[in-house]
Chain A
Amino acid sequence: MFSNNLLYEIKLLTRSKWLLILLVSIAMLFAFATFNGKKNVDKRLNDITVVKKELQKRDSVLVETLKVFEAGKKPDMPYWQKPNEPMTVGYQYPRLAIMKPQELSFLATGQSDMYTHFKSPKVYGNNFALDYSEMVNPVQLLFGNFDLAFVIIYILPLLIITFTYNILSKEKELGTLKLLGAQPIAIMSWLLQKLAIRYVIITLLTWIIVLLTMLLFSVNALAQVTNLIGLFLIIAAYVLFWFVAAFIVNVKINNSSKNALALIGVWLLLVMVIPATINQIGSALYPTPSRLKMINEIRLIKKENEEKQNEIMNDYLRTHPELAQNNDEQRFGFWHNYFASEKVMEEKTKPLLNDYDIQLKKQQHLISTFKYISPAILMQQALNNISGTSEKHYNDYKKQVFEFSVRWRNYLVPMLFKNEKFTLEDYSSMPQFNYENRIKNEVWFNFIALTLISLLLFFVLGSKHLKDKSAKNLFL
């Protein structure tokens, strides 16, 4: 029966316009989305090149000036711009901490449109509370990008629905189902075979088109074999989920219009309503403390700090005697004071800032629980993870930048207090930032979870129909 079904399913599909429409839609949507994603990544890379060039320009000035100093000359410049002072280097020639895109970043814009991908932590200033937001028109954030993630999460299910909503009900409405029922076949396995054939067609079609569009727009991505396999599997699992939904609706409702309505209802629920509701409830359950309140509190701390600055400096010197041994007290007074008050600020504000991290983590936790309710959420997480554009990646980037800023400070501040000058040799041994993707992408886990959810639904909701092989109630 299978080869017969296969042959005729393909014959029927090629003769109806659906397969062609489907093919053209998938191809166009995927190509356009890949093209857009690639463009966004290109802009990101371009921005990075611009800042890198600027850094090189500044660095060449730095090196030239250092050479002049090392030649024993005194160039004509204000004292606060002399690059042989470690603090000047630390503030005016900061290193770049760049978050390079991953090869598959074009898949999902994720949070990449909100945050900056390069930061220059300075030797002083609030490195623990840097602003990472990027300049962007908020309307763009509101409407979102037309990227592959959007096409896969939102549009692909709709295409699957149009491809499957009437797979059984059409036979009933056409009248062929009665004839089929009079044949010595188990109608349930006939239906499952038909669905399986269509499932394979759609999945293969999607895979091939993804591969082709990558070939066209982003060849390098093809080298990411493991990630690509992960991507393909998770797509296959997502498609499976929607096929299972279509199967259940077909056998339970078995009326084309009603099937379509029911499936659209499921789509709305999973792709729009549940995520929006969880988001709203999540921020109601674990509200991030008001940033306005934080501003007030930080201001109060600053105010107190200002009033107590001398006292604090003494405290600081007591804990850092090695810094106080220098004789040039007046010159260092400022720096001591500065670092001391900064340290106090940092210590006092850290718990405040931690609150945000904690609430964010709680919200994330909520999502990781609720993502099993809506495969759309699960897909979004998975795709963002593969692309390296999830909020976890950006939080980790912030962490890495902060770690780097500590390295940067620890490299320069001892030079200041030991009264050493910054030299060309120091220039070549400066710490460099290297972004490392430290977030596990969990795509295998997500794949297994989604497959299990689909199978569970299939067997639980479809069990009654699966057991009843002759599926009598379908015919009349």
Chain B
Amino acid sequence: MKNIVLKELKELIRDGRFKIASIILLVLLLIATVTGVNQYKKNTEQYSISKTKERNIWETQSEKNPHSAAHYGTYAFKPQFALSLFDYGVTQYTGSSIFLEAHNRNEASFSEASDQTSLARFGTLSINFVLIYLFPLIIILIGYNAYTKEFELKTFTLLKSQSVHPVKLALGKWLATFLPILLLTALVFITTGIILSNLQGVAFFSWMSLSVLFFTYTLYYAVITTLTVLISMWSKSSGVSLVSSLVIWVLFSFITPKIATNFANSNHPYPSKSEFASRIAEDKQKGLDGHNPWSKAAKQLEIETLKEYGVDSISQLPFNYAGYRMQKGEEFEAQVYDKHYSILNDIAVNQNQTYKNLSFISPFVPIRFLSMDIANTSNNLHWKFTQAAEAYRLEKQKFLNYDIKDNMKVGERGYTMGADKFKKLPKFKFTPPLLSEILSENRQNILFIALWLVLPFIGLIMTSKKI
């Protein structure tokens, strides 16, 4: 079998097309890496500057009432994760900053894509772009005539008349198609790893995640290799084999994901922003508004609180009731937001599930999702970030409202809070999920990839015996 692999590789190296294609890809990878590293550096730098500046703005704001400070608000910034250099994922389409203020849960604003032209919709040249779209084509280029050339040159009958076992022959062809791409991929990942471990201020880089990514892509290439060789076995001529493999590639990487978009959209439609906002406003109206002591809910709260502390009037309470009510109002509003955002997230999860369910047509889909998740650039991660920001917002509100509750005298006007207290507000921190968590969330994707790996391979072995 070694003999078969060596013969195929020799032929490949002598074929100019492979050389040209590899050189083009390496040039593209170079452009992607250089521009990517630049952007990455810039964004990382900007992230840490913005974080410090914003914290400074918060801490040095003029003395004011805690609730005014709550309205004054602050920002939560999404860190730039190391592997975003490799796979941009959906980061272009999600904002990376959230304004945290009283009463309102805000969306992450200012996505990169809205500052770009529609050219961005063709895709962005990143390392992942080359790896997920173009590398499979190299496999097709190498493997489409693995068998058909033997048929066409009539060398196949000669081969069969030797005592070579057909399965060994198939495995040899398979390996010869797979090895070059494995080598190239390893090169790309090692380079990426070296670059990342030498960059300044890289957040959350781990060789482990990178290795898992490498493994993921390798699996995808193995799937594509199997299919290419299998198609070559089935085809009568090289032309037909090439065209069939390319059709499969287009189906995998373009048609299926796009069709999934439309399915997802019609089966699980998003509400429009204004619809969403008015649903929240409706629910908010039904409950406690920290500013409005006259509403039904506010009166109910007053009665309950008085009962709990066994006193007759709010002035007898051991704390400032206004601050307490403000906090209760905030908590209620947070619940409303939580409810609606959970509904929204459920829609997103269902939509993503629609994509993932089409994995049986295209192994591209599970790979794409897995890659984004591992690189911490997925929608899933963005949701976790917004949840963390919301939790922090609530923590901040509590911190400020309890300052009113505990420190402001009843009926006092003009109570303010100073810089020394603003500094006591803990800083916002966000840590991405562990690799093991990510992988266990992606069980379904992994299962699909495994199936894609095994089933066509069985087909390959079986067909190899028949031809």
Contacts and interface: CB of A to CB of B under 8 A. Distances in A.
A118 B39 CA distance: 33
B258 A145 contact: yes
Interface residues of B, number: 89
B151 to A, nearest CB: 13
B185 to A, nearest CB: 19
B141 A261 contact: yes
Contact of B344 (A135, A155, A280, A295): A135
Interface in B244-283: 246, 250, 254-255, 257-262, 264-266, 269-276, 278
Contacts of B46: 290, 292-293
B50 A281 contact: no
Interface stretch (B121-129, B322-330, B450-458): B121-129
Contact of A162 (B116, B243, B355): B243
B311 interface: no
Contacts of A143: 257-258, 260-261, 355
A163 B416 CA distance: 77
Nearest to A296: B53
Contact of B274 (A110, A118, A142): A118
A116 B50 CA distance: 28
Given A139-B352, A281-B35, A284-B38, A377 B114 contact: no
Contacts of A54: 274, 278
Contacts of A380: 118-119, 121-122
Contacts of A261: 17, 141, 242
Interface string A359-400: 110011001000000001100110010000011000000000
A76 to B, nearest CB: 12
With most chain A CB atoms within 10 A of its CB, the pick from B95, B137, B273 is B273
Contacts of B97: 291-292, 295
A275 interface: yes
A132 B133 CA distance: 32
B162 interface: no
B359 interface: no
B355 A36 contact: no
With most chain B CB atoms within 10 A of its CB, the pick from A140, A283, A384 is A140
With most chain A CB atoms within 10 A of its CB, the pick from B112, B117, B120 is B117
A137 B260 contact: no
A293 B355 CA distance: 35
Contact of B379 (A114, A133, A134, A137): A137
B75 interface: yes
Interface string A104-147: 00000011001110101000000000011111111111111110
Task: Name the prevailing secondary structure of the A interface residues.
Answer: helix
Contacts of B238: 256-257
Interface stretch (A300-308, A416-424, A468-476): A300-308
B273 A134 contact: yes
Nearest to B257: A143
Given A50-B272, A142-B90, A380-B118, A287 B265 contact: no
Contact of A279 (B54, B93, B123, B355): B123
Nearest to B275: A50
Interface residues of A, number: 85
Interface in B149-174: none
Contacts of B123: 272, 275-276, 279
Interface in A261-296: 261, 264, 268, 271-273, 275-284, 287-288, 290-296
A257 B39 CA distance: 40
B270 A136 contact: yes
Contact of B28 (A32, A165, A273, A290): A273
A359 to B, nearest CB: 8
B31 interface: yes
A137 B257 contact: no
Contacts of A178: none
With most chain B CB atoms within 10 A of its CB, the pick from A154, A256, A391 is A391
A268 B25 CA distance: 12
A222 B242 CA distance: 39
A150 interface: yes
Contact of B145 (A36, A118, A144, A257): A257
B61 interface: yes
B376 interface: no
Interface stretch (A39-47, A333-341, A428-436): A39-47
Interface string B1-21: 000000000000000010000
A215 B413 CA distance: 70
A7 interface: no
With most chain A CB atoms within 10 A of its CB, the pick from B43, B50, B134, B344 is B50
With most chain A CB atoms within 10 A of its CB, the pick from B47, B77, B238, B382 is B238
Contacts of A252: none
Contacts of B38: 284
Given A118-B274, A276-B125, A139 B114 contact: no
Interface of B: 17, 28, 31-32, 35, 38-39, 42-43, 46-47, 49-50, 53-54, 57, 60-62, 75, 77, 89-90, 92-97, 107, 109-126, 129, 133-134, 137, 141, 145, 237-239, 242-243, 246, 250, 254-255, 257-262, 264-266, 269-276, 278, 344, 347-348, 351-352, 355, 379, 382
Lowest 4 CB-CB distances: which A-B pairs, in order? A275-B122, A138-B90, A138-B93, A291-B110
Given A261-B141, A363-B117, 4 more contacts: A256-B237, A275-B122, A280-B124, A381-B118
